[in-house]
Structures are given as C-alpha cells and as structure tokens.
Amino acid sequence: KYSIGAHSFTALFGTTNQKDLLESLTAGSKEYSTDQFLNNNLGAGGISYPAPTSNKVEAKLSSYFGRLNYSYNDKLLATFTLRDDISSRFGPNNRHGLFPSGALAYRF
C-alpha cells in the first residue's frame, strides 16, 4: 500500500498456469447369451455396439494479471484490472486475449 496525502494506492500482480487433460473410452456390447455378464464382460456379447472409440484432449491456459486500486480520502474509490490469457483453446492465429475491467465508487 502506498499513500501520499489523501491519495492511496494498492497493486496486485500475479500469474496462473493450468493444464486440463480429458481421456475417454466408450465401448458396448449386445446380444449376450446370458444376463450374468452385462458390462463386466463386453467380449461375451455377440455384437460390439456402439463401435469402440477413444479420445484424448489436452488444453493449456496461462494467465498474467494486475490490479490497481485507488482511493481518494477513502471516499472516491477506483479499481482497474487487466488480464492477459494465453490459451490453446483460442484460435490458432490468436492465442492471446486481453481482458480489461474497471470500476468507480463513491462512499457516502
């Protein structure tokens, strides 16, 4: 926190990193000779249905952010925030996204 007279400032800077991994497997079977096996022995079914599928999806996100708070005489309040996201989920030609925000308030 930094103060000079009636003016007061606080700042925050940070970063986050995230990696998401999704793995899935789908398999099924039907036309069993008995109800004893069901999904505990898919090979015992006469027909594989639906066809077995598998998938793996990985996504990465890195964020850098900063916030500046300003106060005048503890009556006029302002906050400004900027976040820069770098994500594999964004389009291949634009991996960055800048997200600014701000707010003003007056304390009666």
Q: What is the SS3 string spanning the chain?
A: CEEECCEEEEEEEEEEEEEEEEEEEECCEECCCCCCCHHHCHHHCCEECCCCEEEEEEEEEEEEEEEEEEEECCCEEEEEEEEEEEECCCCCCCCEEEEEEEEEEECC
Model pLDDT for residues 64-82, shown as the tens digit of each residue: 999 999 999 999 999 999 9
Q: Does residue 39 carry a pLDDT above 80?
A: no
